[in-house]
Structure 1
Amino acid sequence: MSMLDSLLKRADPVVAAALERALSGKDISVDEAVALFDSTGLEMNLAVMVADELRRRTVGDDVTYVINRNINFTNVCIKQCGFCAFSRDFREEEGYFLPTEEIVRRAKEAAGLGATEVCIQAGLPPKMDGNLYADICRAVKKELPDMHIHAFSPEEVMYGAIRSETPVPEYLKALKEAGVGSLPGTAAEILDQSLRDIISPGRISVQDWVAVIKQAHTLGIPTTSTIMYGHVETSRHKAEHIALLREIQKETHGFTEFVPLSFVHTEAPMYSHGTVPNIRAGADGNEVIKMHAVARIMLNNHIPNIQVSWVKEGARMSQLLLAAGANDFGGTLINESISTAAGAQHGQLMKPKEIRQLIRSAGRTPVQRSTTYRVLKVFSDEKEDDQESALDSADASQFGSYHQLIKLDKFRYNNNKDAKK
């Protein structure tokens, strides 16, 4: 009898049964997932052990990462979500808007530093030209035909479709033709409408989020999947959210990964202004660990890649999560604005060399991947970890920061003709 088997015999019967079910290759139920989310002590530790074992069986000891750059081209937004400290009203001085030539310049700079992906997301500016998203993609692809464009959440897709008076499926086709390679599965937060009405009234509905994701998958556009937790949700909310993603994946097979995103409370309006009763100051350490472990256990048969967000969790916690079911370290990002605006303290750039060293010291093998998880380079020899790329040698200050960007007259929203078309 293994140590794990022995410990399972001592555990709470409901938790033990759920974990044994997972180890036998079966999906666990929402009720079983709730029990795992509520676990402490021995039961929590067992959930982590089982998640790690399932990870090992499914994807082995490789930990992947992607060299990418975030380009959040405007912070001006018609929505006022309670968790978002990034967005600004169009009348505010801190509203910015990057013209298309600046987006292309940033993408070319990233390509020169070895990036294989640009992630393009932004606020929803008022009276936006419905062709803007496609125009941005065409401009990037014209200069960088091999760059993968990971862009536009379901919320942005719906907004673009509305602004262009185009049905969502047709709009998605146009984005794909313009160069979009995949969509970020953000704007999901918690896929429970009653909860969304509290934390982000007016945000894309659960029904519409699911519809856009499924339509993208049908058109051969893969997407990520996410959750935002640590605010007012319950264990059941989290379990039902992941179960819904699991059902979508069974139908479409279009999710590349699952990315848990813990709520950064510091500058979030619903926390700092006290507008949402009983809101928490983000997830604690145990919650973060359990989220990744339970996600692995629930999704292991369907979504093999569980990603850590070093921006949200920091390098040390992210490294620990590699032993709790996670197998992907995300991207280098270069410019991360949304979490930074909310008060995240973990920087806007993590260089490839640092990512590899964190992976290696966790006892795993670093692997550089593409957006869609194609292996680009396996760092099988520890000596390779120290090889410096162009991005490793770059000075992070050259990329600027969100806090600098919102002060620049050059890109001020109210001065930008492209923003007013």
Structure 2
Amino acid sequence: MTTEHAEDRPRVVLGVSGGIAAYKACEVLRRLTESGHQVRVVPTEAALNFVGAATFEALSGQPVRTGVFTDVHEVQHVRLGQEADLVVVAPATADLLARAAHGQADDLLTSTLLTARCPVLMVPAMHTEMWEHPATRHNVALLRSRGVVVAEPDSGRLTGADTGKGRLPDPAEIVDLARLLLAEPKALPRDLEGRRVVISAGGTREPLDPVRYLGNRSSGRQGYALARVAAHRGAEVTLVAAHTADLAAPAGVRVIKVGTAEELRSVMLAEADGADAVVMAAAVADFRPVSHVEHKIKKSDRDPDPLALTRNPDILAELVEARGAGKLAASLIVGFAAETGDATTSVLDHGRAKLARKGCDLLVVNAVGDGRAFEVEDNAGWLLGGDGTEEPIPFGAKSRLASTLWDAVNRQWHRQ
């Protein structure tokens, strides 16, 4: 790669502090470099007890330094922060959060944090007791008040036999948040705190026999992106997940697994009551087999007809109807429409007609087919409002679409 091309790549400083989760920083680094980012790793001395400098240098192609007295003539303790497009610290230990919150600059990483004028993403990892300690909570609040994005830690297995909140989120999630901040530096404000949202995701599967099912190509990525962004913006999130492409649960999100449209309907109606926003991003099968055969259907089977179908419930319309009848206390209801155009009607016109039929507050319209929307990392479309507003959503990462949607939801809340 030429120097000119290298300079065109987004410049990311990846800080690594001294916790056992430091080994996961290698996967974050690999994903960032393979997706076209120029990454400089700046570990603390303690981090090198877990992962050696040679590993970071081999994966990044950049030198690794920890102190401010190496390469002094290049003024690295100032230059790295000044020139970065994004600083990510993963993991960020309780000690690192404390030093950053109080402006210490006793090594290369904390000096870089003081000089950075780009977005800063800190991803905590520590034991639950440390995360919940008032000192750590104070430091996190202080950093957030200054515009630092402090991600929500995950829950799960920690060091030893301990389990709880404080686990480093999945590396794919960290990279997704990094990509979002590079595209939209202000995409993760803490503006959803105190809000409860319920989101459906994935594709339902309607069993025909023990082997076969009627389903669709939804991977669940868009619904998971909606949940991930909402959680990092401070919301209490419940994600009702049908079949997905083996996606890791977003950090800080309660996940309820379902299979069929009927199961999804039952859970959504129960969970949506009292929510501030309900988002139906799942791809619900319109039809299901009339009967489920208990044995594998053979080619010779003729009775009953194994492909006789009946309609599934329209969950989005039912949510809107229940709210209108006073049976469901939900503030805002958002739908998704995966559409294809035809000889007489465009994708957008199909979406407008669907919004009129469903009666929801907002509708995201996606064009599908030819590698769009389903089973891919990026998305585009239109955001239609029940008040007649229409906003194009440019092509980009699904987390960026999620941020655009939560911006619109927030505006709707403030109008109420």
Is the TM value for this pair above 0.5?
Answer: no
> Larger C-alpha radius of gyration, 1 or 2?
2
Higher strand share: 2
Normalising by structure 2, we get a TM-score of: 0.30
Higher RCO (Cα < 8 Å, 6 or more apart): 1
Higher helix share: 1
Normalising by structure 1, we get a TM-score of: 0.30
